[in-house]
Amino acid sequence: MSIRQAWQAVVGGAALAMIAAAPTFAQQKEVTIGYQDMVVPYRIAQDAKEIEAATGYKVNWKQFGGGGEVIKAMASGAVQIGEVGSAGIAAAVWRGEPYELFWILDDIGDAEALVAKNGSGINSVKDLKGKKIAMPFNSTTHFHTMVALEQAGVNPADVQILNMRPPEVRAAWQRGDIQATWIWDPVLAEVKKDGKVIVSSGKISAETGKATFDGYVVNKDWAKANKDFMVKFTKILAASDAKYRDNTAKWTKDSAEVKAVAKWSGAKPEDVPAGMALYRFPPATEQANKWLGDGKNSVAVKALAATADFQLSQKQIEKTLPDYSVVVNPEYAKEAAK
């Protein structure tokens, strides 16, 4: 065999090897999902690697301390799908970022609350005047803090409102640096042990119509290119919620389900059942028809609009959208409801 023939044989063999390997590389699809510390049912799917098994994708889970951090990571392209509260979503989409809300992770209800430390002298929202209260800024709790102050006739300038992520809230509470916080589990369960609930987000929502929720957002372009993944992922979210709703009594501190939620959220297993009971997890049908799928009249769209109006008044954003239904996609929920 000549040198030329030998070279052609090597090149030809390499080409064949590349062709043979091509399908393998094509199947190695990957997604990075940003999550927070909420105690929600689908942590069981995270722990069991259900998403990976159902889709064939490599899933990189990255935990963040707040919705603002998730949005920043999505803006950089490092994260494609993320858990973000309604306040964070409203703050992000006015800039025209290519995000869409496709699933309601939870209806917050009583799962977020204003808690005052025992001995602080705070017995009502009005008593916050002159006191230090902490929560993550641009979060659902920040939004409801300001709504509650307005409702109580308290000037926010008369309250020391501090921007802290949940782990920082926990540390500040333990040191005695703050007298109150508006927060969610697992920190909520901890501060309740030496504090009292003044008002919950559920009560504020009922009295003002300004609801809050945690949702899943996705980069629109990525979702279009990975529709099959999105449908399967949403079906797993719906199934996880159904498992909880149908068997709530079995989710005890010693159950495998609660241990999985505790593992991924950082909560203590003994605090998880009570914490989850404060949330509401809307079924796929309700999400498709009421929360996401009713245009301008959908619960999510109205909540985003109300939140954005507040953020504009606080100069947190520069403008609001004329129609927030453009950033809400009910199609995957509809698929999950079939």
Residue 135 has what pLDDT? 96
Q: Tens-digit pLDDT profile for the chain (338 aa)? A: 444 444 444 444 444 444 444 443 345 699 999 999 999 999 999 999 999 999 999 999 999 988 889 999 999 999 999 999 998 999 999 988 899 999 999 999 899 999 999 999 999 999 999 999 999 987 889 999 999 999 999 999 999 999 999 999 999 999 999 999 999 988 999 999 999 999 999 999 889 878 899 999 999 999 999 999 999 999 999 999 999 999 999 999 999 999 999 999 999 999 999 999 999 999 999 999 999 998 999 999 999 999 999 899 888 899 999 999 999 999 999 999 99
pLDDT tens digits, one per residue of 205-245? 889 878 899 999 999 999 999 999 999 999 999 999 999 99
The domain 110-208: what is its CATH number? 3.40.190.10
The two three-digit tokens of residue 263, written as one number:
């593992």
Burial zone of 292 (CB within 10 Å; 0-12 exposed, 13-18 middle, 19+ buried): buried
Q: CA angle, 94 as apex, 185 and 326 as ends, to 5°?
A: 90
pLDDT tens digits, one per residue of 268-283? 999 999 999 999 999 9
| Separation between Cα atoms, residue 194 and residue 206, nearest integer Å | 27
Whether 30-108+211-337 and 110-208 share one fold: the answer is yes
Give the CATH class of 30-108+211-337: alpha beta
In 3D space, the residue among 132, 118, 117 whose CA is nearest the CA of residue 164 turns out to be 132
pTM over 0.75? The answer is yes
Residue boundaries of the structural domains of the chain: 30-108+211-337, 110-208
